Structure 1
Amino acid sequence: MSRPLRVAVIGAGPAGVYAADILTKSEQPVSIDIFERLPAPYGLVRYGVAPDHPRIKQIIHALRRVLEKPQVRFIGNVDYGVDVKLDELREHYDAVIFSTGAATDRALDIPGVDLPGCHGAADFVSWYDGHPDVPRDWPLTARSVAVIGAGNVALDVARVLAKTADEMLTTEIPDNVYRGLAASPVTDVHVFGRRGPAQAKFTPLELRELDHSPNVEVIVYPEDIEFDEGSMAAIRESNQVKTIVKVLQDWAMREPGTRPRRLHLHFLHRPVEVTGTTEVEGLRTERMELDGTGNVKGTGEFHDWDVQAVYRAVGYLSSPLPEVPFDHATGTVPHQAGRVLDLDEQHIPGVYVTGWIKRGPVGLIGHTKGDALETINSLLADIDGVELDDRPEPDAILRFLADRGVPFTDWTGWTRLDEHEINLGAPSGRERIKVVDRAEMLSVCRED
């Protein structure tokens, strides 16, 4: 081949960056542009991880090393489908890899979810993580709050709601988030899981962190600690499940403490209705029972909980992409080993997918790397021995965007913004304070 393989990656979160990393380590010479809708890279690591989880944010260091490679170029503040179309990308690149992730809330189909005061967890996470495309204010007026879900996102949402604002002030939260949390009158946060403790989807680290706050009492109810044959099998087969169950059992047996705020963990409660007329006034749940397999069935016994806000944390969902096939039932792009398929299940030449939009919003970083490896192997197999067509030289895409009036950012601009945020946090001993406003982000990125 007379020139490097030119690849566009759409999405600068872990999935896209890992795909680029694997490509750079192949024997194939490559030139990779990673496009991102936001001015800053890192995707959900920057805008989906709770600010009091600095350990998880260390992933950014590994992602940065990839983005600093000479074969890789970051192009931020470019919205695929708005600023550039698929056909336009295919004119400039031999292959396009979509890695746009999953950032919206999966629906919860029960009455009352449209009432004011019923929120999607993804929206709340975007608010407290300083996402530039969400409102600066959040309605934190409830004294008692329900969080529906038994995964890590549900625990993140519950923990941020329950903690005092001053506890969060050591993190990177923007000033508007601190002010919002400081004004919150919350005293009780209730987390509801439909199945039993052995079926919870959170990790031991996330669970234990709930009990680290000096201001939040974690309460588990003995009547919710139930196991059937399927639960016992899960405990025997998984050290993670065993650890989670042990922690929950210990908490259920201890005497209540005197910390001023309370975080209640409820299991075997299925939400059936958000109640209220003009706003959230309560949550109704049905008591469930284990059926012997680890699944549950209803008992016909209902409970009404006095809450003034409800947060749905029942899973993330990917959004459709213009000009790309999409399976609305699964929230994924149809593919075969990462090759995007058209309506006739034929591979669209040069178009690939990886990450959550490929497999759905499940799995951890290791799964994301495996996804990327499969996709890159397919891409490399497709171009093996193929003479590459002529393409415009690499900087042509930058002139194309500039001519279209797109105020794109680059890696140098991001390093300016990164340093600016770090400097904002330094006087108060914080690692950084995020810049929230998109115009301000762009101004810092693009200053001469």
Structure 2
Amino acid sequence: MSRLLLHGMRLLSRGFCSLGSNRISVCIVGSGPAGFYTAEKMLKAYQGVEVDIIDRLPTPFGLVRYGVAPDHPETKIVANQFSRVAKSVRCSFFGNIALGIDISLPELRQNYDIVVLCYGAESDRSLGIPGEELNGIYSAREFVWWYNGHPDCFDLAPDLKITDTAVILGLGNVALDVARILLRPISELAKTDISEQALASLQDSTIRKVYLVARRGPAQAACTAKELREILGMKNLHIKIQQADVDISPSDEEELKNHRIQKRVYELISKAAASPHSHSPTEQRELHFVFFRKPDSFLPSENGCTVGAVRLERTSLKENGTFGKRLAVGTGEFEDITCGLVLKSIGYKSLPIDGLPFDFHKGVVPNVKGRVLKGYQTEHDQAVEHGLYVAGWLKRGPIGIIATNLYCAEETVASISEDVEKGLLDGDSGAPKPGRKGLLQLLENKSIAFVPFSGWEKIDAKEKMVGQQRNKPREKITTWEELLKASN
């Protein structure tokens, strides 16, 4: 257990004891890793906490269910831990409840002593370059949601039969996931929980070449060594990396000295570039790493509606004087990659809701250690919204792995603990807020039907039953209508 969490738990326990016999009610919005880790830490900290988790989807687990690649089942095991949290007598799950539509943030704050927003990032950053509206161009989020059976993207239907080449813009872990799914043998994918429609589309796919395009060099690659090692080690896959792209400057060497993870990533890329790759009859698929290029525009195919190529501008790294980070700037040299599919893996984006301060530039809620600030504050003027907190991507931006949310949640819970200790919550000076009872009454007054955790368990059982018949872990239900039907 971290010192931060232990300190937070001690503060939380003392804070609740100071409230006498009064319980404290907590509502967590978002049932992904950040939401469940926050719930778990709160429940462990004090017996008087009652935690409710709401989510706009009928299914819990967020990123674990809809973000983790289907060929990474070991990463999804954490859902078992989250299920134990949800089954606590002091915790309830309310699925199919959309914040800002079914229920407002002020309504939640009126009913709960503490509201923690963990609803993640459900939109995408835009490149803002010509041709971005052409057919055949998708965000990586949409594509990931499609192959993972998310009900918002089950009908995405990307055409994988009109081209042999796909271009992925970005070189983070999501970009590697997408490339791996496009290139992995269908016989291996068929044994995963990939959605039925995605499996059928990939079965007929004609894509044999995938280009991963990065603005900067291999020394600045944003992926992790584990993800990179996996794709470089795929059988019957021809890896192509230009040796010139792997040559590093003295500035790169200095940068790598201080970043052990990036150094390991660079070493893997450098080794792959130097390895001989001879074609054999079985090596039908290619993965190209293209460094020091940024997208300039998308060019249409002959029909004028579908993407036909990506125009890239060569870049070089220049010092910008901010935190010592070098930026990729264009050199005026251009080249085209002919393709029929483009996937933009340039970052997810959180969305604002009414009544919540939001930093549109960073795509996060302004906060200090999880405490939501009142608008835009300076380091010396940090007025906070007492009782309102954030965790996960909404707090720090769409970075990190699943486990990153554990430490993020610990920090937010420690802030809650300190605020309870100081008596800063609205409910401290008077009667406790109604909590779950108030939420249930509110939903009843609005005639809003929700999916409890028992409803999710019915969905879960049906998916596993159908999956077993098809030699898969589960066959995901991919439409809102069928999910709600299965939950009853």
**TM-score, normalising length from structure 1?**
0.93
Pick one of 435, 444, 447 that aligns with 2:486: 444
| SS of residue paired to 2:25 | strand
Q: What is the CA–CA distance in structure 2 between the aligned matches of 1:207 and 1:369, rounded to whole Å?
A: 23
Segments of 4+ in structure 1 off by > 6 A?
A: none
Pick one of 112, 130, 147 that aligns with 2:168: 147
Structure 1 counterpart of 2:334, which letter? F
Give the alignment of 1:211-226 within 5 angstroms. 211-226=232-247
Bigger Cα displacement from structure 2, 232-241 vs 97-106: 232-241
Structure 2 counterpart of 1:255, which letter? H
Q: What is the CA–CA distance in structure 1 between the aligned matches of 2:442 and 2:68, rounded to whole Å?
A: 34
Bigger Cα displacement from structure 2, 169-178 vs 155-164: 155-164
List gaps (5 residues or longer) in structure 1: none
Structure 2 counterpart of 1:138, which letter? P
Match of residue 363 from structure 1: 400
Work out the number of aligned pairs and report it: 446
Bigger Cα displacement from structure 2, 9-18 vs 218-227: 218-227
**Aligned in 2, Cα 1:256/1:407: closer, same or farther, shift over 3 Å?**
farther
Pick one of 235, 254, 257 that aligns with 1:233: 254
Pick one of 273, 293, 311 that aligns with 1:284: 311
Does residue 105 (structure 1) correspond to residue 131 (structure 2)? The answer is no
| SS of residue paired to 1:329 | coil
Match of residue 418 from structure 1: 460
Q: What is the CA–CA distance in structure 2 between the aligned matches of 1:338 and 1:128, rounded to whole Å?
A: 33
Match of residue 56 from structure 2: 37
| SS of residue paired to 2:271 | helix
Q: What is the CA–CA distance in structure 2 between the aligned matches of 1:257 and 1:71, rounded to whole Å?
A: 60
After superposition, the C-alpha distances for 1:143-176 in whole angstroms (9 at most, x for unaligned) are 2111000111111111112234333111101211
Pick one of 338, 343, 350 that aligns with 1:306: 338
Structure 2 counterpart of 1:67, which letter? A
Q: What is the CA–CA distance in structure 1 between the aligned matches of 2:25 and 2:241, rounded to whole Å?
A: 54
List gaps (5 residues or longer) in structure 2: 1-19, 320-324, 378-382
| SS of residue paired to 1:351 | strand
Given that 1:101 and 1:356 are in contact with CA atoms closer than 8 Å, whether structure 2 keeps it comes out as: yes
Q: RMSD value over aligned CA atoms?
A: 2.1
Give the alignment of 1:4-403 within 5 angstroms. 4-27=23-46, 29-136=48-155, 137-140=157-160, 141-253=162-274, 254-258=276-280, 259-276=283-300, 277-290=304-317, 295-343=327-375, 345=377, 346-384=383-421, 385=423, 386-392=428-434, 394-403=436-445
| SS of residue paired to 2:436 | coil
Given that 2:212 and 2:288 are in contact with CA atoms closer than 8 Å, whether structure 1 keeps it comes out as: yes
Structure 2 counterpart of 1:202, which letter? C
Q: What is the CA–CA distance in structure 2 between the aligned matches of 1:304 and 1:403, rounded to whole Å?
A: 58
| SS of residue paired to 1:300 | strand
| SS of residue paired to 2:307 | coil
C-alpha displacement of 1:370: 2.7
Q: What is the CA–CA distance in structure 2 between the aligned matches of 1:236 and 1:343, rounded to whole Å?
A: 39
Q: What is the CA–CA distance in structure 2 between the aligned matches of 1:82 and 1:295, rounded to whole Å?
A: 40
Q: What is the CA–CA distance in structure 2 between the aligned matches of 1:403 and 1:347, rounded to whole Å?
A: 31
Bigger Cα displacement from structure 2, 186-195 vs 83-92: 83-92
Match of residue 474 from structure 2: 432
Given that 1:227 and 1:290 are in contact with CA atoms closer than 8 Å, whether structure 2 keeps it comes out as: no
After superposition, the C-alpha distances for 1:111-150 in whole angstroms (9 at most, x for unaligned) are 2212222111111111111001124223323321110001
Q: What is the CA–CA distance in structure 1 between the aligned matches of 2:145 and 2:434, rounded to whole Å?
A: 37
Structure 2 counterpart of 1:260, which letter? Q
C-alpha displacement of 1:7: 0.7
Structure 2 counterpart of 1:331, which letter? G
Structure 2 counterpart of 1:203, which letter? T
**TM-score, normalising length from structure 2?**
0.86
% identical aligned pairs: 36
Q: What is the CA–CA distance in structure 2 between the aligned matches of 1:166 and 1:139, rounded to whole Å?
A: 20
